[in-house]
Amino acid sequence: MTAIHHEATPPGKRWSIGHTLTIIVLIVAMIFYLTPVFVMVNNGLKDAQNVSLSTMWNLPENFSGGGFVEAWNRLRSNMGNSLQMVIPATVLSALIGAVNGYVLSKFKFRGSDLLFTLMLFGFFIPYQAILLPMVQFLQTLNRVTGIQFYGTLLGLVLVHVVYGIPITTLIFRNFYANIPTELLEAARVDGANMWTIFTRIMLPLSIPAFVVVGIFQFTNIWNDFIFGVTIVQNPDAQPVTIALNNLSGSFSVDWNVVMAGAVVAALPTALIYIFLSRYFIRGLLAGSVKG
């Protein structure tokens, strides 16, 4: 009976020393997580004259836009490249994933799970294992079709769609698996076929899945480095992650510009995270926990 006395105050109902201590730990952890953000924003805001390594923890002395103006001028066209690559690649890979996921969850056939697993393997491979043949393939496409794939954003869109299909298919498959099959059977009794069930019933129900897949793919493709750096050699045509790396390695660029550039390059995915964090969390859990 003595234990009951202890149980009279479950956590959260009353303040305790345990809560105080753990909150302090959480605040210390928060400082750790915000430190790199502080370093980037703080030093990005400094002028070229005032940015120095020995004062990196000091606040800027005046607010004049610091390195942001030059960072934006240097990265603007690469930001545009990234957008031109990310938007079509995200939309296309989401649409293909929706169709695949629908079939793999509601119209299974013998061996469909195995085929899906073989597809999913493509998401987990280190891309180094396909990089050289992929470059050769794109170069061949250039010659055969006369359309520039290798060296252009078009080629990047193509590979991001192809290597995005496994994960978008997985997310949609898990999403559709939770939609009751009775709903489809009722529609079938009313004379709907596989395709009309998809367009009339499943697609309108899929808005949340499209948001999740959209965020997941946008973030993944925006943050990609390896495909961008191998497929596009021309600095003017490269996505922003590669341009930021070049900026950071260049000796002629002031340090405040590099920091501001990191903030600029991070901004689109950071804003998505800040405004859609609920869906973002759902997306990353959907993309990682296999059903």
Partner 1 sequence: MSQSTLAGAAAGTTVGSSTRRQRWEGWPSFLVLLPSLIVTAIFVYGFIAVTFWISLSNWRTLKPDTTVREPFGQTYLDLFAQPRFQADLRNTLIFTVLFIGISVLVGLGLAILIDYNRKMFAIPFFRNVYLFPYALSFVVTGVAWRWIFNPETGVNLFFDIFGINQLLASVGQAPLKPGWTTDPTVAFSVNGILEQFIPGAESLRIQFGLPVALIPVAIAAMWQLSGFVMAMYLGGMTTVSDEIREAARIDGAGEWQVYRRVIIPLLKPVTISVIIILLHVSLKIFDLVITMSGVGPGFATDMPAIFVFETTFKATRYNLGMAAAIVMLLLAASVIVPYLASSLRKSEE
Residues 104-133 touching partner 1, rule: CB under 8 A, are: 104, 106-115, 117-122, 124-133
Whether the CA torsion 74, 227, 170, 166 is positive or negative: it is: positive
Whether the CA torsion 136, 158, 224, 152 is positive or negative: it is: positive
Whether the CA torsion 215, 217, 220, 225 is positive or negative: it is: negative
Q: Are 239 and 228 in contact (CB under 8 A)?
A: yes
DSSP state of 59: P
Instruction: Please give the residues from 208 up to 267 whose contact with partner 1 meets the rule CB under 8 A.
Output: 219, 222-226, 230, 241-242, 244-245, 248, 255, 258-259, 261-262, 265-266
* By the rule CB under 8 A, 141 interacts with partner 1: no
* By the rule CB under 8 A, 169 interacts with partner 1: yes
Instruction: Supply the minimum distance, in Å, between the C-beta of residue 209 and partner 1.
Output: 17
CA atoms of 47 and 60, how far apart (whole Å):
8
Instruction: Please give the residues from 84 up to 103 whose contact with partner 1 meets the rule CB under 8 A.
Output: 96, 99-100, 103
* By the rule CB under 8 A, 284 interacts with partner 1: yes
Torsion of CA 98, 100, 103, 106, to 10 degrees: -50
Instruction: Please give the residues from 9 up to 68 whose contact with partner 1 meets the rule CB under 8 A.
Output: 10-13, 18-19, 22-23, 25-26, 29-30, 32-37, 39-40, 43, 53-54, 56-57
Closest CA to 127 of 212, 239, 272, 224: 224
Q: Are 75 and 264 in contact (CB under 8 A)?
A: yes
SS3 222: helix
# residues contacting partner 1 (CB under 8 A)? 109
At 144, list the tokens. 């055969």
Instruction: Supply the minimum distance, in Å, between the C-beta of residue 65 and partner 1.
Output: 20
Q: Which is nearer to partner 1, 152 or 238 (CB)?
A: 238
Q: Which of 66, 88, 155, 166 binds partner 1 (CB under 8 A)?
A: 166
Q: Which is nearer to partner 1, 59 or 226 (CB)?
A: 226
* By the rule CB under 8 A, 153 interacts with partner 1: no
Q: Which is nearer to partner 1, 63 or 121 (CB)?
A: 121
